[in-house]
Amino acid sequence: MDVRPILVTGVGGTVGGVGRMVLDHVRAQGVPVRALAHHDDERAAALRALSGVEVVVGDLTRGADVVAALAGCRRAYFGMGVSPAYLEAATTVAAAVRDSGDFDLLVSISQMTVSQMSLTSTAESRQQRLHWLSEHVLDWSGAPVVHVRPTVFMENPLFARLAAASALRDGTIRLPFGSARTSPVAAADVAEVIAHLLLAPVPQPRRVYELTGARSRDMTAVAAEFSTALGRDVTYVDVPYEEWLEEDLRKQDLPPHVFEHIATMARLHRENRYDRATNDVDELLGRPPLGFDHLLRNTPAA
């Protein structure tokens, strides 16, 4: 395998920590990693202490920073948190990869909602729209890109901050999903898939991978999974959407762009837009996707 470093972005992210887990998988295989950190803080210092990791500090929307980070790399992972600057960052990365002249794989994280969108659709969040546009920009750039589209993360505030917290607190899952079905995927599975693609001797021929949990089911079935994992009864409470926004989500004190994105995901759940399941995790990793027991084991309050 090429000994040149693999660039990993998003190493300081919080929701799911995909970038950091990708870094750990790549490093575990003895491949050097260049980690792009947005801030030179204690997280960057901790990464510098790891063998095989080079840390560079930069901004994905600054061309000079991205060009410097990519220098000497032939493969990279592009990921960024929920941000109004997402499209600017993706465009900057696309331009830098195009101009690098010696690049064979860019793995970009997107989201599965993109597969149901069009130029004229309006039901999605601004963040989902930015992902749709970013995929097109990366494709138009001619970059050797593979798009990884997870469905909703188990670590998304809908499940980790709200559902898991209320299940642990009073044995209920309060969400406005009605009887709709969903198939959340663990960030650990997504990170392992991304690392698998980055480490493959020859880039995979497919351009899109859609990642879900093992099956799609309604929230009553999810509550039963929580019950089994916790060893006590958990029930699903279907909360009216507007009431849930005011009584549950607004109390999370999220930035406006993030609030609108999470609120839209909840509404799209209620409209059954997340009733989908694929075998991509199983086929790539040779094992079934992780379940909610994994989330609960890694929720501090548990």
Residues 192 and 173 in one domain: no
**Average pLDDT of 203-227?**
94
The CB density around residue 267, as the number of other CB atoms within 10 Å, is 17
Say whether pLDDT at 55 is over 50.
yes
Query: Are 58 and 206 contained in the same domain?
Result: yes
172 within a domain of the structure (yes/no): yes
Which pTM does this prediction carry? 0.94
The pLDDT assigned to 200 comes to: 94
pLDDT at residue 301 tops 60 = no
Say if residue 117 is in the same domain as residue 148: yes
pLDDT category at 15 given cuts 50, 70, 90 is very low
Whether residue 123 lies inside any domain: the answer is yes
Mean of pLDDT values over 275-285: 96
Q: What is the pLDDT of residue 204?
A: 80
Of the two residues 90 and 162, the one the predictor is more confident about is 90
Q: Which domain holds residue 88?
A: 6-154+185-211
- The string of pLDDT tens digits covering residues 70-93 is 999 999 999 999 999 999 999 999
Q: How far is the C-alpha of 286 from the C-alpha of 267, rounded, in Å?
A: 33
- For residue 285, tell me if it sits in a domain: no
Lowest mean pLDDT, pick from 170-179, 203-212, 233-242: 203-212
Residues 117, 272 contacting (CB under 8 angstroms): no
Alpha helices in the chain (DSSP H): 18-28, 42-48, 63-70, 86-100, 126-140, 164-170, 187-199, 219-230, 241-244, 256-270, 280-285, 292-297
Report d(CA 241, CA 180) in Å as an integer: 13
* Same domain flag for 111 and 13: yes
In total, how many domains does the chain have?
Answer: 2
Residues 40 and 67 placed together within one structural domain of the fold: yes
* Residues 189, 178 share a domain: no
- 120 and 240 in a single domain? The answer is no
